Amino acid sequence: MTKAIRVYGVVQGVGFRPFVHRLAEAHGLAGYVANKGSYVEIVAAGTEDNLAAFRRGLVEKAPERALILHLEERETEPFPGEGFSISESEAAQGSRFVPPDIAICGACRRELFDENDRRYLHPFINCTDCGPRLTILDEMPYDRERTSMKSFPMCAACAAEYHDRASRRYDAQPIACHDCGPQVYLLDGTTRGAEAIRSVRRAICDGKIAAVKGLGGFHLCCDATNEMAVRLLRERKRRPTKPFAVMVRDMAAAEREAEIPDALREVLDGPEKPIVILRRRKGGRIASAAAPGSRRVGLMLPYTPLHLLLFDYPDGCVMPDALIMTSGNPPGAPICRTDGEARETLLPLADVILSHDRRIRVRADDSVMEVYGGGPYMIRRSRGYAPLPVVLPSLEHVRDGVLAVGSELKNTFCLGQGGLFYSSAHIGDMGDSRSVECLRETTARMASLLSIEPRVVAYDPHPAYHTARFVEELGLPTVAVQHHHAHVVSCMAENGWTKPVIGVAFDGTGYGTDGSVWGGEILLADYKEFTRIGSIAPFLQAGGERAAREGWRIATGLWRGETGTEAALRLGLGNEEEISAQCFLLDHKVNTLTSTSAGRLFDAVSAVLGLCRVSTFEGEAAMALQFAAENWDSEGEVFDLPALGMAEDGRLLLPTTALFLEIAKRRLAGESAPALAAAFHASLAALVGASCRAAREKTGVSTVALSGGVFQNTLLLRLVERNLRESGFHVLRHRLIPANDGGLSLGQAVCAAARAADKN
Ligand SMILES: [Zn+2]
Ligand SMILES: [Zn+2]
């Protein structure tokens, strides 16, 4: 009997074909396995029993990194040959799975430090189970000749391993060794190889700043246990307070620095090796300047051989257990990936730059996640995760390719076709022209890698978004997707939910259909459409761009009608001149918008409580408010507030201005900031619960989707989730797709595909 089997999923670049080969031989089957681009094809001939056992083994014994999403099997004409082989890759049309990069495996790590191994201390050691994938890909299918490794012809020894079925490196595309692989060097033009690594290690030990080329871009790096070095990096990077990520030597070092929940240990040390934001332990050695004023720290483990060599090298230099590893990029711009970019932007920041000659084809920042509900809660989805698809069988029949260009901040894009939606790695902020260029370039590359030709472009209709020009250039039919609708759809899609939901979309800012600033929205939504059924109470946002960073401006506005300027002065929101200038803007509606932004409400409360008057990075004020609330050791008080109101258009209004005034009044009366911060969270969660109950009564819908950047606040998320569950709601929330604008493109793409489905 001969069977043809098609396997769909992550089956390229994860050692799947060699695995099939070994399995087929173990069961005495003849035939071949081939990479078809969108799937792996297996033709296998043998007895019925052997074929059945083979089929079971495919699923049960698949390599750890493989992910089988779908398997098709049919009987076919008898296979004429003998033996089993791997046939050369053929490109094919259709949906594809582009493999993400994989952190160095245990076996390679052991060889790296084994003096008797021929790859002893080789900075590019990898195998079938680990190494670069997406970041070195030119084209699919994934084969050496279509990657950055094509400039490094295999030496005889590597070629022998590559072709040896028994080898750990059988069919490992990026295989390399000292003789044939890429080389590291300093950007001083002379120092190469071992001496380059030694120099960088010395520089770091001496408290200097290094830039190091990694898997998906350059990092800026220094001794994380050296307060002065970390401060120097902050000064040079002009980043006063935003936390830096820290790479720790190993799990033991991670345990010394932070509390690691059991479920997160596997994630931290898993093949993706993301940055995980953890609670710091007392007595840890990481400098406080790494995350000023915060009880948390973002930790990751080394994920490339070069990282391991930075920590350990036989040169007598004693390295610290923790290194700052922050993306090497100007704020908002994409991470640097070429020597040219590094020279231009990192040379003024770094004392020494360690590069190498394996080209990075697709950038990949480190992924960042928080811990929530005992599992990961994604903040930035990039290396290791992008571009794995979200699979929505209900949209499988939509054959037209969709491109969603994402948001202005934290931009990602998303390509979708046939029910598969591939969100890109983090790009950057579109206010920087380099990010727009990166978006342009990466969409083209990914469209070609995935073999998706976009027929329609989904975008955010905000008139000031820099994505608009790019959308225009594409010259394709467009679909405008309202910002908060996209958030809600992204959450539905991540959960595979297709029925209507009550969407709670809380974030900093999004363009409303009425031209005002939205950001505290309750929507009745499905993939295609939405109705705005509620929002927080509108307020005036005066001062343009600055109002988005300066919470005291929002607070002054919220206070205006009630207590005049005197109270604002007493709480130190500003000096007399500042307050009266702000009041002038408000009174004369200069540079003033109507807003329902939940993010700005958090900023205002943070300012009133004296926690953060002006943010130096996005979300700083809200984070300060969350941390203050978490420092309060009991449940926050739920204030008695007026009932839900109603706007002119009939939507529900959450009495959030009343909540703000209650907080302000109590603060003036001398109540503690942490207590009030906790009460703000608890009371806001209660208001969200009340509005969802009212929405359920109106609509009969009892599933709620929680999305938008404000839900990065895991305290608020926990309180809202609990409130809703207690009221019998089914709650959808994010896990591996960010709640913030990084998840927006997925929602846009799914919305556009759902609308296209109607036309088919
Ligand atoms: Zn390996
Ligand atoms: Zn070699």
418 versus 287: the higher-pLDDT residue is: 287
Give the span between the Cα atoms of 377 and 366, in whole angstroms. Answer: 15
Q: Give yes or no for a contact between 298 and 276, defined as CB atoms under 8 angstroms apart.
A: yes
Which pLDDT belongs to residue 95? 47
Distance 325 CA to ligand 2 centre (A): 30
Laid out side by side, the sheet with 414-417 consists of 389-391, 420-423, 414-417, 401-404, 454-459, 478-480
Nearest ligand, CA of residue 172? 1
- Walk me through the domains of the chain, giving residue ranges and CATH numbers: 2-87 (3.30.70.100), 184-368 (3.90.870.40), 387-495+741-759 (3.30.420.360), 507-535+544-732 (3.30.420.40)
What is the model's pLDDT at position 94? 45
Which ligand is in closest contact with the Cα of 14? 1
Distances (CA, A) of 417 to 38, 71, 477: 12, 19, 16
pLDDT, tens digit, for every residue of 72-106? Answer: 888 999 998 889 998 866 544 444 567 789 999 99
Mean pLDDT of the chain: 92
Q: What is the pTM of this model?
A: 0.89
Q: How far does the centroid of ligand 2 lie from the alpha carbon of residue 181, in Å?
A: 6
Ligand of minimum distance to the alpha carbon of 176? 2
Across the beta sheet with 40-45, the strand order is 67-75, 2-10, 40-45, 30-35, 84-87
Q: Which amino acid is at 517?
A: V
pLDDT tier, 760 (very low <50, low <70, confident <90, very high otherwise): low
- Count helices and strands (H / E) in the chain: 21, 31
User: What's the CA gap between 636 and 629, in Å, rounded?
Assistant: 8
3-state SS class at 621: helix
751: its two tokens = 């919305």
CA–centroid distance, 133 to ligand 2, in Å, is 18
Chain position carrying tokens 């900075």: 123
Note the helical H segments in 44-189.
Answer: 48-60, 106-112, 156-163
Q: What is the pLDDT of residue 13?
A: 66
235/68: higher pLDDT: 235
Nearest ligand to the CA of 181 is 2
DSSP state, 637?
Answer: P
Which residues keep their CB under 5 angstroms from ion ligand 1? Answer: 105, 108, 127, 129-130
pLDDT at 564 over 70: no
Q: Ligand 1 center to residue 365 CA distance, Å?
A: 21
Query: Which ligand is in closest contact with the Cα of 157?
Result: 2
232-257 tens-digit pLDDT: 999 999 998 899 999 999 999 999 99
Q: Tell me the average pLDDT across 549-572.
A: 82
Residue 93 has a pLDDT of 45
For residues 192 and 37, the model is more confident at 192
Q: How confident is the model over 682-735, as pLDDT tens digits?
A: 999 999 999 999 999 999 999 999 999 999 999 999 999 999 999 999 999 999
**CA distances to 28, 61, 451, 685, 735 from 688, in Å:** 62, 46, 43, 5, 21
146 C-alpha to ligand 2 centroid (Å): 18
- Angstrom CA distances, 338 to 198, 212, 329, 391, 456, stand at 22, 11, 12, 34, 32
Among 13-17, 187-191, 258-262, 477-481, which is the least confidently predicted range?
Answer: 13-17
CB 49 within 8 Å of CB 106: no
Residues of the chain by 3-state class (helix, strand, coil), percent to 5: 35, 20, 40
